[in-house]
Amino acid sequence: MTRRERLRAETTREITAIALAQLAEDGPGAISLRGIAREMGMTPRAIYSYFATRDELITALTGGIATDLADTLEAARDAVPTADTGGRLLAWALATRAWALANPQGFRLFFGDPVPGYQPPEDGPVERASRRICGGLTRLVADAWPLAGRHQPADVSWSDFPPAFFARLQDEDGAEIPPAAAALALRVWGRMHGLVALEIHGHIGAVVHDPAALYRTDMLDLIGSLGLTPPD
Amino acid sequence: MTRRERLRAETTREITAIALAQLAEDGPGAISLRGIAREMGMTPRAIYSYFATRDELITALTGGIATDLADTLEAARDAVPTADTGGRLLAWALATRAWALANPQGFRLFFGDPVPGYQPPEDGPVERASRRICGGLTRLVADAWPLAGRHQPADVSWSDFPPAFFARLQDEDGAEIPPAAAALALRVWGRMHGLVALEIHGHIGAVVHDPAALYRTDMLDLIGSLGLTPPD
DNA sequence: AGACTTACTACACGGCGTGTACTTTTACCT
DNA sequence: AGGTAAAAGTACACGCCGTGTAGTAAGTCT
């Protein structure tokens, strides 16, 4: 690592740090190249040596944030014994909400609309994190399938999904995942997401005092409906 | 109605119409006073005779959109006989998704973050529509309560909610709504919202071919879990 | 030591919301 | 009918924004 590379890495880190602060403070729309440059004592144009455009900066931020979320969810899941699928699902869900409350603007950036006219690239860290989240949840639901599958509709086939999604799930070692389990997993995802999204955007706080309890109740109900016993 | 008032109303309508077009085209962030003025052949500053600020314009737009959503949901519900609570809930849910797909940017504007640093006023049409939606759904769930309430936790009291929420629900003629039903209603709201939010923000389309069927399955499951028979 | 690449500056352009000051049009009152 | 106050609209300016072009200074490699 040459001196130049070290400096470059350091500056890049400083730029993203300031941008993250702007994001956390005033939301995605407040991320400003000129603001960052001002805070760093640089010419606005100097940032362009590190990010070719503002959207590229935002893409990098989103990637980091999404990766952080995926890490958090996987860590929460893995803190619960493999055998306790219900507990792992609950941990996943509660970690989702906790992360969202800790990073509300990051939640908006990743799950909502980042910035007008912005289109994320097809295969960056954002996509990869998205796949980790979707795939991780699907595998959890697949673990619950022996019980959860009993009351699920059987008319689902892998042709209902894009081939890439299928491939991604199956090439993990061994276990076959039934297509109906994948469909169920997406519905579970939606259910875990809904209340959190409403809360983050201020639609729940005005109407109930303890959103945490509400969410927990719903997640316990969800786990029960999958035929799993919630952990103690 | 004087000539002046007519002209004013007409101009106001034209401004909001163009703003709505901007919104539908490129999202909330693309709404621009200067752009509107340009399209109308006016000086940018002339808009200020109609809306004191850009945020005020957006507030008006959001109000109209939210009211439209509330109207749509209530109309869908009322197209199903009062006795068929399961059918009414399904209609409500499907109308939510259909409206969201027809007005994706409106969905973002109402349920997401409109614009950086923007704070909606406490008691405008937006709040009123929000209450209609939340309240309408709560009353539907209350209708299902005799059956749905059996497996619901009983440790919910009205002290868990803001007094205003309680008052709003009870002063409708007669029927007492149990607090646990209100809690359940919020969870139902979250469940109806989650998959739609994921889909609108592009997280579902990449991973399954027929989101409509997925959503319908989940809603039928939801209605079944409330002890209701889905309509034929 | 010279050549090339990288980081950075200076300046400019067109976009944005909006403040101040002024002119024109309309509505109302005597 | 004429005068006046309010409303609608214009002109100009300021400070934000992303970013294009041109040129300079420092670091790296042969």
Suggest the residue from A198, A215, A222 to mutate for an interface test with chain B (most B CBs closer than 10 A).
A198
Closest Cα in chain A to B129 = A203
Amino acid A122: pLDDT: 67
Residue A122: how many CA atoms within 13 Å on its side-chain side? 0
Report CA dihedral (B89, B92, B94, B100) to the nearest 10 degrees. Answer: -150
Does residue A53 lie within 7 Å of nucleic acid chain D, judged by its CB? Answer: yes
d(CA B223, CA A147): 21
CB-based contact B174:A182 (threshold 8 Å): no
Which residues does B200 contact at the CB level (< 8 Å), separation at least 6? B100, B101, B104, B107, B108
CB-based contact A55:A142 (threshold 8 Å): no
Which residues does B219 contact at the CB level (< 8 Å), separation at least 6? B89, B90, B93, B94, B192
> Residue B51 — φ and ψ, nearest 5°?
-135, 125
Q: How far is CA B215 from CA A140, A227, B165, B187, B220, in A?
A: 20, 21, 29, 16, 9
Residue B150: how many CA atoms within 13 Å on its side-chain side? 7
Query: What is the end-to-end Cα distance of chain A in Å, rounded?
Result: 52
Q: Could A116 and B30 be called an inter-chain contact, meaning their C-beta atoms sit closer than 8 Å?
A: yes
User: How many beta carbons lie within 10 A of that of residue A117, not counting itself?
Assistant: 12
Question: What does the DSSP 8-state code read for residue A79?
Answer: T
Query: What is the end-to-end Cα distance of chain B in Å, rounded?
Result: 52
R_g (Cα) of chain B, nearest Å: 20
One digit per residue, pLDDT tens: chain A, 232 residues? 777 788 999 999 999 999 999 999 999 989 999 999 999 999 999 999 999 999 999 999 999 999 999 999 999 999 999 999 999 999 999 999 999 999 999 999 999 865 555 666 668 899 999 999 999 999 999 999 999 998 888 899 999 999 999 998 886 666 789 999 999 999 999 999 999 999 999 999 989 999 999 999 999 999 999 999 866 5
**Residue-wise DSSP of B29-53:** GG--HHHHHHHHTS-GGGGGGT-SS
Question: What does the DSSP 8-state code read for residue B207?
Answer: T
Distance from CA of A58 to the nearest CA of B (A): 15
Which residues does A63 contact at the CB level (< 8 Å), separation at least 6? A124, A125, A126, A129
Residue from the list A161, A189, A194 with its beta carbon closest to the beta carbon of B193: A194
Amino acid A101: pLDDT: 98
Tell me: the pLDDT tens digits for B68-103? 999 999 999 999 999 999 999 999 999 999 999 999
Residue A222: how many CA atoms within 13 Å on its side-chain side? 33
Token pair in block for residue B196: 């739609």
Amino acid B3: pLDDT: 78
d(CA A125, CA A128): 5
Nucleotide nearest to A4 (CA to C1'): D27
* Residue closest to B34 by CA, chosen among B48, B24, B21: B48
Does residue B43 lie within 7 Å of nucleic acid chain D, judged by its CB? Answer: yes
Amino acid A123: pLDDT: 80
| pLDDT surpasses 80 at B36 | yes
User: How many beta carbons lie within 10 A of that of residue A125, not counting itself?
Assistant: 18
Which amino acid type is present at position A119? Q
Amino acid A147: pLDDT: 93
User: How many beta carbons lie within 10 A of that of residue B45, not counting itself?
Assistant: 10
Residues of B in contact with A113 (CB under 8 A): 27-28, 108, 112, 201
Which residues does B162 contact at the CB level (< 8 Å), separation at least 6? A206, A207, A208, A209
Token pair in block for residue B220: 């039928």
Could you tell me the domains of chain B? 1-52 (1.10.10), 64-225 (1.10.357.10)
